Chains A and B, each alone.
Chain A
Amino acid sequence: MKRIEDRLRDAALAAARTVPDDGAPPLRLPGRRPGPGWGLPRLRGRLLAVIAPVTAAAAVAGVLAGAVVADRHDGNSAPPAGAVSAPRVPPPYLLGLTLFGDFGQGRPLRADAVLVSEHTGKTLATLRPPRGRTYVAVSGGYDDRTFVLAARRTGGLYRPRYSPTWLFGIRVTVIHGQVASISTTDLNGGVPLPAGSFGAMALSPDGTRLAVTGDWTRGRTRLPGLRIYHLVGGGIQSWKLADPAAGNPALPDLWSPSWEASGRRVALTVRTRQCQDCVRLLDTGSHAATVQGASRVIVGPPRVRALDWNAALISPDGSRVLRSAILCGRRTGHGCADVSRIYSYSARTGRPLSDVTENVLDIIWTVLWSSPDGRLIVAGAANQVQPYFATLSTVTKGHWHALLKVPLVIAAAW
């Protein structure tokens, strides 16, 4: 019989061995260097009595002036048309949707919204959806407070990208309290939408408009298109897709909307008979009634033969379009290992640019989102049987920084 000390030592060593020698994640030091130490000598006596109030008054005045300037800058008024604003400092945290439930057992899954610190990668809070619902999409307002969450009734298996059955509505929620609530029925002119009609959504950079793609209906007619809901005032702009792709009704004809930083144009992935999986740039100021009339193709059909094209987004400065694809990697006994790859294109010429990321094996799908300063959030999911390996990461110049290991990330936003 081993002594208890030896048993304890062996067990501790065995637990420690679960961390490999290269198992430390990259160090992420705070961006600012807080605290004292800027060369000011310690002040005493009369000098302190004179300098301290003057410095404090100057600091208060500075903060007030900064607040006024920031308030004007972040006001609700729309930016001038056509102007591309400079990249802003991203908020210190982002929101991801993670999926919990019984994978593969056919039971309802529930997605929670987790607020993650970008500096430490820690989960700051978890927001559960209302009872009987699950979050299906999230969009960030590029500030530090506004997020839009889409929720639907639970029931049925979750399938990535395609809206499953029981889609009911969109709830507009801000983390600090719900400010508005709309449903796809409202967006469809009061007519309830059939299951699975919601596509994707994106909140405009100024937080005043919500772009939603979906299969809208009029009577029995299916009308794939884009609708922009004005959160202030409640107006709806709509564009229908004139020439939807035929032959595969399971695939959405219009998805992954993303805004330019100017808030004027929206990039969309569009599947039509003429152009499969093209990325179009739609001018929201256009009076045309169709998506084709209001937009132009900026990236043509992909030349790479992929198993799936998951998402496309336009960079905030409007110069690049990023697309994530799942490709067939090396052959295995069961078929081929999935490889995730993110491609970058020039939004002006549509030509491919250098790849953003290297191949990442065994990732079956990814979620893309761009921060105001042009960085990416990428969430990769290994597969639905081993969900622990999903990570929410930021990508800067080809390097992945894992922020959070969660069961399964289905969407993320700054």
Chain B
Amino acid sequence: MEAYTQSPAARDERAGRPDAAGAVTALYEGHAVGLIRLAVVLLGDRAAAEDVVQDAYCGLYRRWRHLDDPGRALPYLRSAVLNGCRSQLRARGRARRQPPDGLVLAGNVAASAASAEEDMLLAEEHREVLIALRGLPPRQREALVLRFYLGLDEPGIAAAMSISAGTVKSTTSRALAALGRLLRARTEEDQ
């Protein structure tokens, strides 16, 4: 009968697992800014980045009891942020292709305003690279950001993106080539 009477928090404690709210809050204090920055690099929009990170933490909180190893919460969060960014980009693409008549999907109007403000803060050279980066397909963009911004190794990127190490290598290589092409094209346009 013990199982019926114990509260989830008590069972967590007994299993040596920290309380979900406390643990998630501690993780948020430690890593939220880093994850928001990661999402900002991927999305170019701080408000959307904050949303994605908030959702990732809410998701972790809901699934906390099913987490086999609480020590792996950070990789889980990183994957959730990547997935969230991918969903955001997909939604933006849909909205661009087919603007609904009366109803507009979340965040697109505010997103353009916020990103315009943030772009003001960046130097011209960086802005060009970021615009080219945002022209890449989501997978290639993620691989480059994880490799060159977070400095993850191939197994780390593979775990975060749920792909094999071999695919990481080929995706990164193709992404770098594509980024170079995009930057060269922009330079030629300017000249």
Please, how many angstroms separate the alpha-carbon atoms of A22 and B148 in the complex? Answer: 24
Please, how many angstroms separate the alpha-carbon atoms of A321 and B119 in the complex? Answer: 43
CB-based contact B28/A24 at 8 Å: yes
Name the segment of B68-76, B126-134, B152-160 touching the other chain. Answer: B126-134
CB-based contact A18/B122 at 8 Å: yes
Q: Which of A74-123 contact B (CB under 8 A)?
A: 100, 112, 119-123
| A-side contacts of B47, CB under 8 Å | 405
Partner of A11, one of B3, B33, B58, B130: B130
- Given the interface contacts A35-B62, A40-B4, does A123 sit within 8 Å of B57 by beta carbon? no
The reply to whether the CB of A9 lies closer than 8 angstroms to some CB of chain B is yes
Q: B41: shortest Cβ distance to chain A, in Å?
A: 5
- Given the interface contacts A23-B33, A39-B7, A120-B51, does A29 sit within 8 Å of B107 by beta carbon? no
Name the segment of A62-70, A125-133, A260-268, A361-369 touching the other chain. Answer: A125-133
- Given the interface contacts A27-B57, A41-B3, does A12 sit within 8 Å of B148 by beta carbon? yes
Q: B32: shortest Cβ distance to chain A, in Å?
A: 4
Give the interface SS of chain B, mostly helix, strand, loop or mixed: helix
Number of CB contacts from chain A to chain B under 8 A: 155
Give the interface SS of chain A, mostly helix, strand, loop or mixed: loop
CB-based contact B62/A34 at 8 Å: yes
- Given the interface contacts A23-B33, A24-B33, A38-B8, does A9 sit within 8 Å of B149 by beta carbon? yes
Partner of A7, one of B24, B58, B129: B129
CB-based contact A15/B130 at 8 Å: yes
CB-based contact A14/B3 at 8 Å: no
Q: Which of B1-46 contact A (CB under 8 A)?
A: 3-8, 11, 20-21, 24-25, 28, 32-33, 36-38, 40-41, 44, 46
CB-based contact B58/A120 at 8 Å: yes
The reply to whether the CB of A407 lies closer than 8 angstroms to some CB of chain B is yes
| B-side contacts of A8, CB under 8 Å | 129, 133, 144, 148-149, 179
| A-side contacts of B38, CB under 8 Å | 16
CB-based contact B3/A25 at 8 Å: no
Please, how many angstroms separate the alpha-carbon atoms of A33 and B66 in the complex? Answer: 13
- Given the interface contacts A34-B62, A120-B55, does A19 sit within 8 Å of B36 by beta carbon? yes
CB-based contact A37/B40 at 8 Å: no
CB-based contact B176/A5 at 8 Å: yes
Please, how many angstroms separate the alpha-carbon atoms of A100 and B109 in the complex? Answer: 9
CB-based contact B25/A27 at 8 Å: yes
The CB with the most chain A CB atoms within 10 A, among B57, B58, B110, B133, is that of B110
Please, how many angstroms separate the alpha-carbon atoms of A100 and B108 in the complex? Answer: 13
Please, how many angstroms separate the alpha-carbon atoms of A20 and B109 in the complex? Answer: 24
The reply to whether the CB of B92 lies closer than 8 angstroms to some CB of chain A is no
CB-based contact A5/B148 at 8 Å: yes
The reply to whether the CB of B139 lies closer than 8 angstroms to some CB of chain A is no
Partner of B37, one of A19, A41, A128, A388: A19
- Given the interface contacts A11-B126, A11-B129, A29-B61, does A120 sit within 8 Å of B54 by beta carbon? yes
Please, how many angstroms separate the alpha-carbon atoms of A237 and B121 in the complex? Answer: 56
CB-based contact B54/A27 at 8 Å: yes
User: Which residues in A have some Cβ–Cβ distance to B below 8 Å?
Assistant: 4-5, 7-16, 18-19, 21-25, 27-30, 33-41, 100, 112, 119-128, 387-388, 404-407
The 4 closest A-B pairs by CB, nearest first: A16-B37, A11-B129, A12-B149, A24-B32
CB<8 Å pairs between A and B, sample of 21: A11-B130, A11-B133, A12-B41, A12-B130, A12-B149, A16-B41, A16-B149, A18-B46, A19-B37, A24-B32, A24-B36, A25-B54, A30-B62, A34-B62, A39-B3, A122-B51, A124-B106, A125-B103, A128-B104, A405-B114, A407-B110
User: Which residues in B have some Cβ–Cβ distance to A below 8 Å?
Assistant: 3-8, 11, 20-21, 24-25, 28, 32-33, 36-38, 40-41, 44, 46-47, 49-51, 53-55, 57-58, 61-63, 65, 102-107, 109-110, 113-114, 117-118, 121-123, 125-127, 129-130, 133, 144-145, 148-149, 176, 179-180, 183
Known: A35-B62, A120-B54. 6 other contacts (CB 8 A): A8-B149, A11-B133, A25-B50, A30-B58, A33-B20, A126-B109
